[in-house]
Amino acid sequence: MAGGRIKQDEKINFVVPTGNFGNILAAYYAMQMGLPVNRLVCASNANNVLTDFMHTGVYNRDRDFQKTLSPSMDILISSNLERLLYHLCDRDPARVRGWMSDLNQKGVYRIDKDTRAGIDSMFWSAYSDDRETLATIRSVYRRYGYLVDTHTAVGLSVYQKYAAATGDAARTIVASTASPFKFNESVARAILGEEAVRGQDEFKLLQVLEETSGVAVPAGLKGLDRKPVFFRETAAKGQMKDFVQKILDA
């Protein structure tokens, strides 16, 4: 707004890469509080349970879990979606409990047409796979010299799909959720190619990204390989309770 490109009260789009529906739920609350929002775009990765839900009104967790390059979005049960549904079904807790019970017992639930209409009026959704994610990182860097992480790349890729599908030319903010250095192997592979990263360890790739892009490694990651390791113990899944109790008793 300071540059004059977004006018007072102008409605804009927000694109949010999400798996657990947390940040985009916050955007919905902001919209309800008066923020002028045109459309909330829900960007998923290959774990596209939210995209399928928004297109069909059916939430089905019974699908293969995909390990992707955007791991913070690798989620099949989006717990914050329950909160949105509560608001869109006239705050009827019985209906929400019924849906969540079906999800727990059957792995699937279907919302009613009025609740789905509420979603359709505000939200749009699509997903991008790992191949598209890497291509977006590469394209943005080559065109703008700007590094994006894998999650932000999902958002940018989905926004391109949204613009192509709808023709909506409203100004748009894509939520950037992480540092590209946190996902240095994927980002380096996207902008430098497979051969350039093969055999390189994660710490070396931080330096490679810095030298290639001219962007400094974040202070929290710089020299991480030279810092002392304080915790080395691990616990198997079945031993977690005893492991936590051991820590509490120490």
Q: Please state the domain count of the chain.
A: 2
Q: Are residues 174 and 212 in the same domain?
A: no
Q: Are residues 169 and 248 in the same domain?
A: no
Reference 116, options 38, 52, 37, 55; nearest CA is: 55
Q: Are residues 120 and 203 in the same domain?
A: no
Q: Name the residue range of residue 47's domain.
A: 12-178
Q: Are residues 207 and 171 in the same domain?
A: no
CATH of the domain at 59: 3.40.50.1100
Q: Does residue 183 belong to any structural domain of this protein?
A: no
Tens-digit pLDDT profile for residues 136-193 = 999 999 999 999 999 999 999 999 999 999 999 999 999 998 999 999 999 999 999 9
d(CA 176, CA 206): 19
pLDDT, mean over the chain: 95
Reference 19, options 52, 42, 53; nearest CA is: 42
Tens-digit pLDDT profile for residues 31-68 = 999 999 999 999 999 999 999 999 999 999 999 999 99
Q: Is 249 exposed, middle or buried (0-12, 13-18, 19+ CB in 10 A)?
A: exposed
Q: Are residues 108 and 158 in the same domain?
A: yes
Indicate whether this model's pTM tops 0.75: yes
Reference 136, options 119, 148, 118, 121; nearest CA is: 148
Q: Does residue 141 belong to any structural domain of this protein?
A: yes
Q: Are residues 47 and 169 in the same domain?
A: yes
Q: Are residues 203 and 174 in the same domain?
A: no
